[in-house]
Structures are given as structure tokens and as C-alpha cells.
Amino acid sequence: MGNYISNQTTNQDTIENNKCLICWELIEDNDLVQCISCKIQLHVYCEETYRGGKGYCKCPHCQGIGTMCITHHHRHHHRF
């Protein structure tokens, strides 16, 4: 047995860096699809392309059916 070092990023790395799991480009907040099960993130376009003509969504990471959703991040600055 030995040590194995992976060059793949973890889900947490992907979330923190806001990178698409498919194309590895940065994702703008208004172009974000996320798996509710494993929390990976994709561009809306990449998810639609990956899904193809299927009538359902499937996570490319955990393979969960119907787990992909569009998330909205609102940044409000309030002064009290």
C-alpha cells in the first residue's frame, strides 16, 4: 500500500472556487445550477448540454436523478 495523491478537486474546492464541474470555468451567480445532493456546481448551459434531449436532469457527479436546481445568490448590503 502507498499514498495516492489525486489531481482532482473535491466538491468543497469546486464550491469555494465557484467553478463548473464540466468545463472548469468560473460561474457567475446568475448562471449557476447546483446538485441538492452532492452540491457540485455547473453553468446552466453546461447542464443543459449534458442533459441533452432527456426530459429529466441527472447530476454528472453523484448520478442523482432530479437533483439539479437553479440557485440564486442575492447580495444585499443593508445599513442599519
Please identify which residue in the block is written with the cell numbers 449557476: 32
User: Residue ranges of the domains in the chain?
Assistant: 11-70
Q: What pLDDT is recorded for position 41? A: 94
Q: State the pTM of this model.
A: 0.65
For the segment(s) 11-70, the CATH number from 1.10.260.40, 3.90.180.10, 3.40.50.850, 3.30.40.10 is 3.30.40.10
CA distances from 69 to 6, 7, 39, 62, 65 (A): 28, 27, 10, 14, 11
pLDDT in tens, 14-31: 445 689 999 999 998 788
Cell numbers describing residue 75: 447580495
Phi/psi zone of residue 18: left (φ > 0), alpha (ψ -120 to 50 degrees), beta? left
Q: Give the amino acid at 46.
A: C
Distance (Å, whole) CA 28 – CA 23: 13
Please compute the mean of the pLDDT values over residues 30-36 and round it to a whole number.
90
pLDDT in tens, 59-70: 999 999 999 998
